[in-house]
Amino acid sequence: MRARLTARLMLPALALALTTAPLAAQDSAEVDAVADVVRASDTASVTGALNLDFGTIAIPRESAATCLYQVNPSGGSGVSLRVEQTGGPSGGSVSNPTPDGCSISGTQTTAEFFISCQQAGPVLVQPTLQVPANQGVRMERLTGMSIVAPNGTIQTFDPGNIGGGAPLNCPATPGDFRVRLGGEASVRGFDQPQPNLNIGRVRIDLNY
């Protein structure tokens, strides 16, 4: 009788031990949290297309004279030229033809940039001129700007209005604006001939 009672008491204890024993194996898994991080889309971007090229410009025969040469945008794609002399025996300012041989020849191009619009919004086009220090033949100033819109509309800006920048509105549909800039170069009578001379740099910044 006592043996049977003992066996009955041990069975619940054995069952409890089986249910509370630690598991022999475990498993787990992980995944990463990821994202593609990019900059916000620009309203517009600008690329340079053509140098401001004066072609061949002459040194005046008179050492006291200075030749001024202008290459300006005309219409959508044309170029207009101006030649002027200051100083020298004639004094004052003399337009082309000049008494001391100021002349321009060869092929001329205005500085040219393309502005690509990615989304609608206002953009301020800010041109600037950088000139090498201590150089005789040099760019003196920017003399005009034209902006041809994607629909063919042309805006023109005279020298007095270039400094403040030119506003334009990027349309909702992507398109390119063509920006053309003219400038004036000076050559003095004591300057020396130099082929393919860098006389300045034209820059455009976009603010939006």
pLDDT tens profile 133-173: 878 899 999 998 999 999 899 999 887 767 788 898 998 88
Q: Which whole number is the average pLDDT over 1-30? A: 59
Total residue length of the chain: 208
Residue-wise pLDDT tens digits, 84-102: 999 887 767 888 778 899 9
| Share of residues in the chain with pLDDT > 70 (%) | 88
Between CA 3 and CA 142 the distance in angstroms is 116
Q: Whole-model pTM?
A: 0.77
Spatial neighbors of 81 by CB under 8 A, at least 6 apart, are 69, 70, 71, 72, 104, 108
E strands present in 27-148: 44-50, 56-57, 65-74, 78-87, 93-95, 104-105, 111-117, 121-130, 138-148
